[in-house]
């Protein structure tokens, strides 16, 4: 009879197929969870930030005075959005604490600056300030890592923040990005009429 | 009477499902996270380093209250905040590992040499003197005590690195070694500037 001859084979196939299908389904689900939105090719440059020991191998925007042993301890710069330049050595100190320093060209459009302001204000340990002679309109730097971008809306900026904000490159995890020097730029809102105090 | 055809398929299906479930369970059991034991190197390091750090915070706060020097104030603030945050990490790990803050083994017994007193710790007398002194004298005492304290901390972190340990524990130990060594140099420079 057909049944008795084909049965063992089909039984074997079914026995193998169910676990195989189940595994394939689980793997596919797992992969789907992880993929997220596609980010364009992402290559972060390794840069030598000014070393504590003294030799300053400068790469903009990490220019300026290195924190040499023998100088007074530099203060760190409070994170946030700045519309005026800040001293590079204080920004470098903030990066030692795990901050990402987003430096931008002065002639970035108002909406692009607003985008950077939003990024710097919505989370801690992000420092944004303008700088001259940048190699690109927007340069994101963390200690020893740098990414050059054409615009703030580039999805690679978010990825850089995920990878490096308080990331493994932080020299002093636990150190603050407040209580140092600097006052982030206030929003230029329309002045509201002041209510009298009584 | 022949068995209904679908009866056989149901049996196959159930058997296959059982196979899948058993293999998933076995894999999960094999890959289960193994947590450090109460007498592990990681637990010992977390507890003892937290104690050590807590004294650094105490000294830094004493120095900050009494000093007129903005650089000393800044350094003391940074030390207090960093080390307090790292104490948080140590305690967080112990909680995640299901371990109490107080171990059953004596302090420092996890270190290779074992049983030594905690290196670099200031005495009660030292802390009282730090609280009583003022101005430049207080600053100098703070820097000297903290240099010794950091050297002890570096020693303890290096001792952890001589053992096999979970990667995140080793990573923090490495950070402690490099950042505290850098701070030692800064503090030495501050003492020399004075002379």
**Distance (Å, whole) CA A85 – CA B50:** 39
Across chain A, mean pLDDT equals 76
Q: Answer whether 0.90 is exceeded by the pTM.
A: no
Count the helix, strand and coil residues of chain A and give each as a percent rounded to the nearest 5: 35, 15, 55
Which are the contacts of B5, defined by CB distance < 8 A and separation ≥ 6?
A: A3
Mean of pLDDT values over B106-117 = 76
> Is B175's CB within 8 Å of A7's CB?
no
pLDDT at A146: 86
Mean of pLDDT values over B5-16 = 83
Q: Which chain A residues touch B67 with a CB distance below 8 Å? A: none
Length of chain B in terms of residues written: 195
Q: Which chain A residues touch B15 with a CB distance below 8 Å? A: 15
pLDDT at B29: 84
Enter the tokens of residue A104: 């931008």
Residue among A21, A49, A50, A175 with most chain B CBs within 10 A, to mutate: A175
Mean of pLDDT values over B55-84 = 94
pLDDT of B68 above 50: yes
Mean of pLDDT values over A162-167 = 91
Q: What digits encode the pLDDT tens for the residues B173-185?
A: 999 999 999 899 9
Q: What digits encode the pLDDT tens for the residues B55-67?
A: 999 999 999 988 9
Mean of pLDDT values over A60-79 = 54
pLDDT of A55 above 50: no
**Distance (Å, whole) CA A57 – CA A49:** 7
Mean of pLDDT values over B148-157 = 97
pLDDT at B150: 97
pLDDT at A67: 41
Which residue is closest to A69 within chain B, CA to CA? Answer: B186
**Distance (Å, whole) CA B167 – CA B53:** 21
pLDDT of A6 above 90: no
Mean of pLDDT values over A44-50 = 64
**Distance (Å, whole) CA A124 – CA A120:** 7
Neighbours of A68 (CB within 10 A): 17
Q: Which residues of A touch B (CB under 8 A)?
A: 3, 7, 11, 14-15, 17-19, 22-23, 52, 69-73, 75-76, 168, 170-176, 179
- Considering only residues A169 and B113, tell me which one the structure prediction assigns the higher pLDDT: A169
- Considering only residues A96 and A73, tell me which one the structure prediction assigns the higher pLDDT: A96
Which are the contacts of B135, defined by CB distance < 8 A and separation ≥ 6?
A: B66, B67, B68
Q: What digits encode the pLDDT tens for the residues B158-171?
A: 999 999 999 999 99
SS3 A91: helix
Q: What digits encode the pLDDT tens for the residues A102-146?
A: 999 999 999 999 999 999 998 999 999 998 888 899 999 988 888
- Considering only residues B112 and B182, tell me which one the structure prediction assigns the higher pLDDT: B182
Residues 76 to 115 of B: which have CB under 8 A from any A CB? 77-78, 81-86, 88-89
pLDDT at A61: 44
pLDDT at A135: 85
Q: Is B179 on the interface with A (CB under 8 A)?
A: yes
Q: Which residues pair with A128 in a beta bridge?
A: A81, A102
Can you list the alpha helix ranges (DSSP code H) found in chain A? 2-35, 88-96, 110-122, 155-164
Which residue is closest to A10 within chain B, CA to CA? Answer: B9
**Distance (Å, whole) CA A161 – CA A99:** 9
> Is A73's CB within 8 Å of B78's CB?
yes
Q: What digits encode the pLDDT tens for the residues A178-198?
A: 989 999 988 765 445 555 555
pLDDT at A138: 95
């Amino acid at each position: 009879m057909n049944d008795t001859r084909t049965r063992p084979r089909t039984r074997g196939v079914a026995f193998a197929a169910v676990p195989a299908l189940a595994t394939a389904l689980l793997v596919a689900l797992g992969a789907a969870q992880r993929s997220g939105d596609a980010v364009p090719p992402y290559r972060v440059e390794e840069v030598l930030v000014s070393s504590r020991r003294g030799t300053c191998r400068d790469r903009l925007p990490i220019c300026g005075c290195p924190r040499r042993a023998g100088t007074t301890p530099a203060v760190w710069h409070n994170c946030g959005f700045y519309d005026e330049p800040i001293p590079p050595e204080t920004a470098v100190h903030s990066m030692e604490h795990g901050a990402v320093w987003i430096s931008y060209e002065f002639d970035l459009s108002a909406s692009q600056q607003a985008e950077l302001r939003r990024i710097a204000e919505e989370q801690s340990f992000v420092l944004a300030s303008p700088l001259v002679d940048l190699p690109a309109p927007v340069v994101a730097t963390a200690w020893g890592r740098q990414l050059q971008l054409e615009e703030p809306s580039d999805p690679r900026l978010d990825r850089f923040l995920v990878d490096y904000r308080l990331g493994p490159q932080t020299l002093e995890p636990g150190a603050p990005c407040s209580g140092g020097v600097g006052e982030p730029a206030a929003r230029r809102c329309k002045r509201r009429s002041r209510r009298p105090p009584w | 009477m022949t068995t209904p055809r679908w009866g056989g398929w149901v049996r196959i299906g159930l058997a296959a499902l059982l196979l899948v479930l058993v293999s998933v369970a076995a894999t999960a059991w094999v890959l289960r996270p193994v947590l450090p034991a109460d007498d592990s190197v990681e637990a010992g390091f977390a507890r003892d380093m937290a104690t050590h750090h807590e004294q650094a915070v105490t000294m830094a706060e004493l120095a900050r209250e009494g000093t007129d020097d903005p650089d000393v104030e800044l350094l003391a603030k940074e030390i207090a905040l960093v080390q307090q945050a790292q104490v948080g990490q140590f305690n967080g790990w112990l909680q995640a590992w299901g371990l109490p803050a107080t171990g059953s083994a004596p302090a420092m017994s996890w270190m290779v040499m074992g049983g030594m007193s905690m290196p670099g710790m200031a005495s009660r007398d030292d802390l009282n003197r730090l609280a009583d002194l003022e101005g430049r004298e207080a600053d100098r005492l703070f820097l000297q005590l903290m240099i010794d304290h950091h050297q002890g901390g570096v020693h303890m972190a290096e001792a952890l690195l001589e053992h096999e340990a979970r990667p995140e524990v080793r990573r923090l130990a490495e950070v402690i070694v490099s950042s505290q060594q850098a701070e030692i140099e800064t503090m030495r420079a501050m003492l020399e500037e004075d002379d």
